[in-house]
């Protein structure tokens, strides 16, 4: 009798005793990674081998990671946020979620990477760059391939162009900001409204459109060019295009999360990730971004920024919370609400 009754109470106790968390281990690094999994995996493995620091890695898109860091701000669980478009990194810097740190490696970096650090008051730094463009499926588009943004308005691409939703994807927000800077705001929204007639779907993930193009689900996908190149390298019939009018670019960034559990490991990773050796890992993991260390070799297949007509992208303005919220609200009202 008594034993039975005790067991009921014991179960209640057992239900809670798992609530006592494991204590933190020495020499660990909790890495929030926002590039593709393959690259994340290669980076954490290489760092672990190099330093013996045990890396606990989580991969999530930059939007998700930003939300996670914001939600955990009272008691941060992550140490370093590595990769993903620069805007959410700048937003995190602006809100004080990330820590100020000047790496001794900073002067080895390209101008655009150092500018990212200046803009954020040294709370983030550029680790790679890549131009915005689009890719088309050469089996579906056999003649007169598109070369400019304007070509995408062509009626033959009706229901055949995909781009991500700028509310969820940093890639697509970069396109929105690029169009505004390239054409002027009202003209940009007029262009996007016309383009809307050809859009079959606003995807959630930034690189989803090019995967759809690779399997033939759509003819054209608007993405970062290195994502298009990655598909080509893997054997898909994809041709990457740098639009003739000019285009914007992203500065993939890295930040140390303020108040993280392992600040020393975080700094070690930060410095290591800026070395040429660490930056050359990307090419082995099917990632063709341009590394930010001037001494790191650019992958052969990577689209060179010199070959692309780049606009002078204003990261400070378009990375700020206010401008971002304003542009996205306007996108919701004028483009997102149009009938499909």
Min dist. Cβ of residue 304 to another protein (A)? 25
Nearer to another protein, 4 or 49 (CB): 4
Min dist. Cβ of residue 14 to another protein (A)? 8
37 - beta bridge partners? none
Nearer to another protein, 18 or 102 (CB): 18
Q: Beta-carbon neighbour count of residue 297 at 10 Å?
A: 12
Min dist. Cβ of residue 305 to another protein (A)? 24
Nearer to another protein, 221 or 243 (CB): 221
**DSSP-H helix ranges across 52-85:** 62-71
Min dist. Cβ of residue 325 to another protein (A)? 6
CA distance 15 to 129: 48
Nearer to another protein, 178 or 293 (CB): 178
**DSSP-H helix ranges across 138-245:** 170-183, 185-196, 208-214, 225-233
CA distance 288 to 14: 50
Q: Beta-carbon neighbour count of residue 71 at 10 Å?
A: 8
The vertex-259 CA angle with 256 and 262, nearest 5°, equals: 70
Min dist. Cβ of residue 34 to another protein (A)? 11
Residue whose C-alpha is closest to residue 249's, from 174, 336, 339:
174
Nearer to another protein, 264 or 307 (CB): 264
């Amino acid at each position: 009798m008594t034993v039975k009754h005790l067991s009921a109470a014991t179960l209640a106790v057992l239900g809670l005793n798992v609530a006592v968390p494991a204590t933190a281990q020495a020499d660990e690094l909790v890495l929030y990674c926002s590039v593709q999994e393959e690259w994340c995996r290669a980076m954490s493995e290489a760092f672990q081998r190099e330093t013996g620091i045990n890396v606990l890695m989580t991969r999530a898109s930059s939007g998700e990671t930003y939300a996670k860091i914001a939600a955990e701000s009272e008691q941060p669980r992550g140490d370093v946020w590595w990769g993903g478009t620069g805007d959410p990194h700048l937003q995190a810097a602006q809100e004080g979620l990330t820590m100020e740190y000047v790496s001794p490696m900073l002067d080895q970096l390209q101008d655009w990477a150092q500018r990212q650090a200046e803009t954020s008051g040294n709370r983030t730094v550029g680790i790679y760059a890549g131009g915005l463009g689009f890719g088309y499926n050469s089996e579906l588009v056999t003649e007169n391939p598109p070369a400019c943004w304007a070509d995408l308005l062509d009626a033959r691409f009706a229901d055949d162009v995909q781009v991500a939703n700028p509310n969820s994807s940093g890639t697509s927000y970069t396109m929105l900001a690029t169009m505004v800077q390239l054409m002027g705001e009202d003209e940009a929204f007029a262009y996007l409204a016309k383009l809307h007639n050809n859009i079959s779907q606003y995807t959630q993930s930034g690189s989803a459109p090019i995967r759809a193009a690779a399997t033939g689900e759509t003819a054209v996908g608007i993405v970062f060019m290195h994502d298009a190149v990655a598909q080509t390298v893997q054997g898909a019939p994809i041709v990457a295009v740098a639009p003739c009018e000019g285009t914007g670019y992203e500065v993939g960034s890295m930040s140390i999360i303020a108040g993280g559990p392992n600040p020393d490991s975080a700094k070690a990773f930060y410095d290591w990730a800026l070395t040429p050796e660490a930056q050359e890992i990307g090419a082995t993991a099917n990632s063709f971004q341009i590394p930010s260390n001037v001494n790191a070799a650019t992958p052969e297949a990577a689209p060179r920024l010199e070959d692309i007509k780049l606009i002078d992208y204003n990261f400070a303005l378009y990375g700020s919370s206010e401008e971002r919220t304003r542009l996205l609200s306007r996108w919701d009202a004028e483009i997102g609400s149009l009938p499909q």
